Structure 1
C-alpha cells in the first residue's frame, strides 16, 4: 500500500521546469518514523473515501481549520480582516550555495522550489491527517522524469498525491533572492499569485520531522504580499515544516546543493 502513493513534484526557478515525481524509498523513510507512516496509512484507510473528495475539492467549510501555532515563539497572528482561502502541502527543496574557498563558513540560503498540493478541506475536516502529511512526504524521493506515466495523468491536471487524490494547486519558487513567489493558478483552480516578503520567523518546535539525512526542520514563517499579488491574497504562513535545513558549515559540500523538505502552507485573503 505504501508504494502505491505517488507524490508529483516540479523543480522550478523563475518558471516551472521539467517535471519530477517522487517514488517511495525505504531508506528515505528512515528519518520519518515508521510509526508516522503507519499512523498516516491507518488514518487514510479510515478516511479514504472522504479524502478522495477533499483532495480535489477547493470549496468546503473552513471555519474548523485552525492554523498551527505551536512553535517556541509563536508567529504573529493573521491580520484583522483576512480569512483563510487555501491550505497546501508543499514538497520540494530548500536551496543553498557554498564558498568553497571557505569551508568553515555557513551555507547561504538561495531560495526554495516546491509543488503545492491542495489540502484545504483536509485542514478543515481532518487536521490529524494534515499534520502528518509533511512528515510522510519526506518518505518519497524526488525523481526527475521527462514525462509522467500515462495512467497517472487525470484529465484535470496531470499529477495528484494518491490515493487521497490531493491535486496540484500551485508552485512555489523565488523570482529573485528576496522574493518568495506562490503561483496558485492551475488548470484546476484560479486562486491567485503572491510575490511576498518575510514578515516574521519562528524556530520549528521540538520534535519536528528531520530530513532524509537528519537535517533539522526549517523555520516557520509568516510572509506578507508584495505589490502585484492577485486573487486578494495577502498573507502566507509556512508551518509544520519537515527537513530542509542546511549543515552548519560548507565542509564537504558542493558549491550549490539542495535539501529536501516539506511543509504546510496557509494562504489568507482580504474580504474586499
Structure 2
C-alpha cells in the first residue's frame, strides 16, 4: 500500500548522505529502486544514517487538513520527530479512560530540510508514522536509531487534583511539561487513530519548546468498551511530533 511512496522517500537518502554535513557511511549495498529494500530490517539502517538537528524554522506544521489547532503567533518549528510508543488506558465504568503514554521520538528534521523541493512535507508527515509503526517496536524502538526525545506522563506540577498527570518531553539536557490546549479527531479513521493535539508549555517547566503538536497519528485507540474495572491496557501507536519555540 505504501510501497511507491516509501521508495520515493528513501530514494532521497543517498542525497542526504552526500550533503556536506552528512555521514560518510556507504549506501552502495542498498538498492533504492527495489521495493524489497524498504522493509522492516532495512528501515532502521537507513533511518540511522540520516543526519539530525537540521534547522527547520521554514517548515510548516501540517495542520491544513484539520480545524481547531494552530501555531501561536511568533512561534516557528524548532524540531520534528517521529514517535513510536504506546497509549495507556484504564478500564473505568465500562470504557477505557486515558492514562497517559510512553514513546521514543526520533529526530527527522534533516529529512524535511534535505528533501525540500523534492517531496511534499505533508507526504513525509503522512508516511513516517506508518513506516515507524511497521518497522519499529516499542519499548526497544531505539535500539538501532539514535533516540532524540523521550515522552512520558508525570504528575502535574502544582495540581491539587489527585492523580493529575501531564505530558513531558525530555532530552539529556532539557525537558518541557505541557498541558493540552486543543485536540481534534484524526482526519482519517478516528476510531483507530488517536486525536491530533496541540500542547502548550507550563510556565517554569522546562525550555525544550513552547508548543508541541501531535499530528498524523497512526493507531493508538482502545476498544470501545471494557468489563474488568481498573484493568490497564496499552495500545501501540506512532505519530509525528512538531516542536515550536
TM class by shorter chain equals 0.7 to 0.9
Q: Which runs of 5+ in 2 are unaligned?
A: 23-48, 156-163
Q: Which runs of 5+ in 1 are unaligned?
A: 1-34, 149-157, 162-166, 209-214
Q: Is the 8 A contact 1:225 1:234 kept in 2?
A: yes
The residue aligned with 2:110 is 121
Relative to the length of structure 2, the TM-score reads: 0.72
Summarize deviations over 1:111-136 as a string: whole Å, max 9, x none: 00000000112233342334301011
The residue aligned with 1:222 is 198
Deviation at 1:67, TM superposition (A): 0.8
Q: Could you say if the C-alpha distance between residues 89 and 141 of structure 1 is closer, same or farther in structure 2, counting changes exceeding 3 Å?
A: closer
CA RMSD between the two structures: 2.7
Alpha-carbon distance between aligned partners in 1 of 2:182 and 2:63, rounded to the nearest angstrom = 13
Summarize deviations over 1:154-175 as a string: whole Å, max 9, x none: xxxx7444xxxxx321100001
Any residues of structure 2 matched to 1:152-231 within 5 Å, and which?
159-161=143-145, 167-176=146-155, 177-185=164-172, 190=173, 192-206=174-188, 216-231=192-207
Q: Could you say if the C-alpha distance between residues 255 and 51 of structure 1 is closer, same or farther in structure 2, counting changes exceeding 3 Å?
A: farther
The residue aligned with 2:62 is 68
The residue aligned with 1:39 is 4
Q: Higher strand fraction: Structure 1 or Structure 2?
A: 1
Q: Which runs of 4+ in 1 moved over 6 A?
A: none
Deviation at 1:139, TM superposition (A): 1.4
Partner of 1:142: helix, strand, or coil?
coil
The residue aligned with 1:95 is 88
Q: Is the 8 A contact 1:85 1:268 kept in 2?
A: yes
The residue aligned with 2:14 is 49
Alpha-carbon distance between aligned partners in 1 of 2:237 and 2:100, rounded to the nearest angstrom = 12
Alpha-carbon distance between aligned partners in 1 of 2:139 and 2:83, rounded to the nearest angstrom = 17
Counting matched residue pairs gives: 201
Q: Is the 8 A contact 1:178 1:197 kept in 2?
A: no
Relative to the length of structure 1, the TM-score reads: 0.65
